[in-house]
Amino acid sequence: MGDETTMDPAAARAAARAMTESADRAESALSGLSNRAFDAAHAGRDHGARAVRIDARLRELADGLASWNRVTRSAADAVGTAVASAEAADSSGAASLRAAGGDR
């Protein structure tokens, strides 16, 4: 079993990339849904009231999704920063050990 305190930089970067791609897909799906719902609402006879309700609900969904995606992208950025910091610390630590003669 692996050490839980050890980070796999490639896996962490892949997770951050997957988070960002997930947010992008969600935005795209909502945009497509919004377009189809708008078209469907305006195709009926009583499109006025129905279109207003659908539009209001889609705006609520879009606002919620935008908030979620900001958090998701922020988390993905934090993962990327943590990976870069850990790699820099590892490199610095290894260089310090070499300078002190630790790799003899």
Residue 57, number of CB atoms within 10 A of its CB: 11
Instruction: List, for residues 7-18, the tens digit of each pLDDT value.
Output: 688 888 888 888
Instruction: List, for residues 42-58, the tens digit of each pLDDT value.
Output: 666 566 677 777 778 88
Among 5-9, 31-35, 61-65, 84-88, the range scoring the smallest mean pLDDT is 5-9
The Cα-based distances of 46 to 15, 16, 18, 34, 59 in angstroms read: 46, 45, 42, 18, 20
Among 4-8, 27-31, 70-74, 88-92, the range scoring the smallest mean pLDDT is 4-8
Q: Which residue has the higher pLDDT, 102 or 16?
A: 16
List the domain boundaries for the chain. 34-75
pLDDT computed for residue 1 by the predictor: 46
Q: Which of 43, 25, 46 is nearest to 35 (CA)?
A: 43
CA distance 46 to 58: 18
Tokens representing 33 are 């849904």
